Amino acid sequence: MNNSKVLVYTHRGSTGKKPLIPACSFEEATRRAEDLLSQMTLEERISMIGGSNSFYTTGIPRLGIPALYLSDATQGVHIRHELPGQMEKSTAFPSPVCLAASWNTDLAYAYAEAIGEECRAGDIAILLGPGMNIYRIAQNGRSFEYFGEDPFLVSRMIESYVKGMQSTGTIATLKHFLGNNTEYYRRWSNSVMDERAIHEIYTPAFKAGIDAGALALMCSYNQINGEYSAENRPVITGLLREQFGFKWLVMSDWWSIWNPAKAIASGLDLDMPGHTHENFLNDPRIGDVSLKNNAPALLAAGLVSESQINRMVLSILRTIVAAGLLDRPVKDVKFLERFDAHGEIALQCAREGIVLLTNRNAALPLENCGTVMLLGDQIKGIAGGNGAAAVEGFDTVSLRESLTAQFGQALFIGSIDDDEAISSAGAILYHCATCDSEAWDHPFNLPVDTQKNILRCCELNPRTIVIVSAGSGRDMSAWADKAAAIIYNWYPGQYGNIALTEILSGRSNPSGKLPITIERSFTDSPGFGYIPEGEELYSDWPNDMNKSRENYDIIYKEGIFVGYRWYEKRRIAPLFAFGHGLSYTGFTMSDLRLSDTIIGRNQLLTIHFRITNTSSRPGAETAQLYICDCKASVDRPHKELKGFTKTGLEPGQSRELTFTIGGQDLSFWDTARKSWITEPGEFRILIGNSSDNIILEQSFILR
């Protein structure tokens, strides 16, 4: 790696290269798929509707149909040492929530392109990501795998991600469809969601991924309004295929089918991994529920039809053809040469995604501060998330190593019991790291000792800087106003500690912005109360397969009011607002001008304004455009994000920026008409650098 810094990553890389996916049109893919289907025996067709082992589809060698390797996903390629032929290494990228915090769609493209290239190097045809479930509950164990709380931000990141991934020839899988917003007994939860919330909050990112050309989608573990996702015909056939126009591969999440006949009728194509988990197989209440083992008897009994099986196989084949996988090998070892370039992307993503939450009396950057004492967790390693998302990385740089390289002798590792050393250090860096995972949720609170230690450092040393590595918001209320500075570091990948050190020392200027709201107390959250009364959080895997557990409902009672929409409506001040993030640089925004003050229904509105770096450091700012519908026939949020742009500016530099909005940006989902509608009236344009810091405002009228 050359470590050369750019303020804001802008697309260079493969611009101009023809994306490898789609390799042909839907019609052409259908023709070839039909031809293959017509040559297959019933037995062969049935074999294809389930995986051939945990991470492979079933191939039909006599017809040249390959068995394809599907692999996770979230923060880079998860190498499965138990499987043969694995790559030696893969890059550990920052987690997607950190990527989202960069608010940089070019970076999302590059991040996904890099992972797509590593998939090609590792013979992986289908990446089991990106994940895009909306952040509703801070306790969700998988928030680090997703892109935050706002459907507009998530959608823009996802469409770039899908294009970047598929440009390399690796299929992107949109997951987990739908309503998988907690991991608490995820196989036994029923997400009770209303239609407006589904359309306005929980599906726009899926729709954006579909429109960007994603060739695969994964269902979720939970039920949606009473039916398991992979068995849910209204959701798969109705919503996904008919309303959103998704024409490609739909797979189950691993071991999430209970009723084979329902799953076959739902619009699903592929049962993964294809065999029943032994925990369920040996349970008389469940037994063998794999689609391919059940299909012959279901066909014989007339409970499913051959045309249903054919539809599934056709969809799988069509996807393989459209990805070009009948005509080229998956594996391309030339991508093994690209690891350095991928490391650069991982580092840049951490630089742009790490968020400076507070910085009192310009405690940061640490310039000429004397000694620096390091305390807390993960001093020797890197903080990361677990489960299918786990990625080991290589050449990882620990916090201790990167800080030593920066501060040399001035850095020392201290003991929390050493009051004298804590008080006399030039600065304290307290690192707290969580390890979130799928299959269980985690408490909003940090461990009691961590909280005590941070408070103790803050009392003893006014220059205490707290670094939080976590996949979601955590309770910082007790010390947020006592720490000199707080950095939200997420899980920043194998070079994240380099990026963090650059920020601490002032060699990089932070520019990350929260893609989530961090509440003061979990009781403030729209999701509070999702755990059935009398039950408690658990950790570790066994409960994930707890068969004796009753199903329980999660009522999305807040409807569309998720994230800042909720806190603003309820007038609850969060600890840190959505979109918040500081820089070492000052910026101004000025000269707001709209192209019109009255627009027609099909007219676009252009919004111009100026942004200026008023200080003596280069820096980057993300301008955020929110729109407020001043009066509507339904309850609408105070404001909704409808545009953002991240700009790097040299000292004193000024730039004119432009947003363009149209009817869709003003609309809401009308449950009576079952469509998006706009209502005439007054709207306000709000531009700021955070959802709670609006700097420019102007109204216009929609005729």
- Contacts with ligand BGC by CB under 6 A lie at 72-73, 128, 175, 253-254, 388, 438
Nearer to ligand BGC, 254 or 258 (CB): 254
Nearer to ligand BGC, 133 or 168 (CB): 133
User: Going by C-beta distance under 8 Å and a sequence separation of 6 or more, which residues neighbour residue 347?
Assistant: 1, 3, 493, 495, 496, 498, 499
Nearer to ligand BGC, 77 or 467 (CB): 77
The conformation of residue 189, written as its DSSP 8-state character, comes to: E
What's the rounded Cα separation, in Å, for the pair 579 and 641? 10
Nearer to ligand BGC, 267 or 387 (CB): 387
What's the rounded Cα separation, in Å, for the pair 273 and 253? 8
Nearest-approach distance from CB 318 to ligand BGC, in angstroms = 22
The conformation of residue 595, written as its DSSP 8-state character, comes to: S
Tokens 């003003």 sit at which residue? 666
Report the first-to-last Cα separation within the chain, whole angstroms: 55
Nearest-approach distance from CB 128 to ligand BGC, in angstroms = 4
Nearer to ligand BGC, 350 or 388 (CB): 388
The answer to whether 318 and 80 are in contact (CB under 8 A) is no
Nearer to ligand BGC, 439 or 641 (CB): 439
Instruction: Kindly report the backbone phi and psi dihedral angles of residue 694, in degrees, each rounded to the nearest multiple of 5, phi listed first.
Output: -90, 130
Nearest-approach distance from CB 437 to ligand BGC, in angstroms = 10
Residue in 233, 268, 321 with CA at minimum distance from that of residue 29: 321
Nearest-approach distance from CB 177 to ligand BGC, in angstroms = 11
Nearest-approach distance from CB 500 to ligand BGC, in angstroms = 28
What's the rounded Cα separation, in Å, for the pair 435 and 444? 13
Cα dihedral value 561, 565, 570, 573, nearest 10: 140
Nearest-approach distance from CB 542 to ligand BGC, in angstroms = 14
Nearer to ligand BGC, 72 or 629 (CB): 72
Strand residue runs (E) in 187-258: 189-192, 216-219, 223-224, 227-228, 249-251
User: Going by C-beta distance under 8 Å and a sequence separation of 6 or more, which residues neighbour residue 253?
Assistant: 175, 176, 218, 219, 220, 221, 229, 230, 272
Nearest-approach distance from CB 63 to ligand BGC, in angstroms = 27
Could you tell me how many residues make up the chain?
Answer: 703
Nearest-approach distance from CB 491 to ligand BGC, in angstroms = 16
Nearest-approach distance from CB 286 to ligand BGC, in angstroms = 18
Nearest-approach distance from CB 473 to ligand BGC, in angstroms = 22
Nearer to ligand BGC, 222 or 469 (CB): 222
Nearer to ligand BGC, 254 or 676 (CB): 254
Instruction: Kindly report the backbone phi and psi dihedral angles of residue 258, in degrees, each rounded to the nearest multiple of 5, phi listed first.
Output: -120, -30
Nearer to ligand BGC, 80 or 311 (CB): 80
Tokens 């627009």 sit at which residue? 599
DSSP assignment of 443-470 equals: -SSPPHHHHHHHHHHHHH-S-EEEEEE-
What's the rounded Cα separation, in Å, for the pair 371 and 409? 8
Nearer to ligand BGC, 217 or 458 (CB): 217
Nearer to ligand BGC, 349 or 388 (CB): 388
Other Cβ atoms within 10 Å of 211 Cβ, number = 15
User: Can you say whether residue 468 is alpha, beta or left, with left for phi > 0 and alpha for psi between -120 and 50 degrees?
Assistant: beta
Residue 608: cis peptide before it, omega within 30 degrees of 0: no
What's the rounded Cα separation, in Å, for the pair 471 and 59? 37
DSSP assignment of 232-250 equals: -HIIIIIIIIIIT---SEE
Please report which helix (H) or strand (E) contains residue 305, including its range: none
Other Cβ atoms within 10 Å of 545 Cβ, number = 15
Nearest-approach distance from CB 73 to ligand BGC, in angstroms = 6
Nearest-approach distance from CB 80 to ligand BGC, in angstroms = 9
Nearest-approach distance from CB 438 to ligand BGC, in angstroms = 5
The answer to whether 126 and 71 are in contact (CB under 8 A) is yes
Cα dihedral value 359, 360, 366, 368, nearest 10: 160
Nearer to ligand BGC, 130 or 581 (CB): 130
Nearest-approach distance from CB 338 to ligand BGC, in angstroms = 24
Nearer to ligand BGC, 479 or 491 (CB): 491
**What does DSSP say about strands 70-71 and 619-629: parallel, antiparallel, or unpaired?**
unpaired
Nearer to ligand BGC, 257 or 623 (CB): 257
What's the rounded Cα separation, in Å, for the pair 69 and 46? 19
Nearest-approach distance from CB 252 to ligand BGC, in angstroms = 10
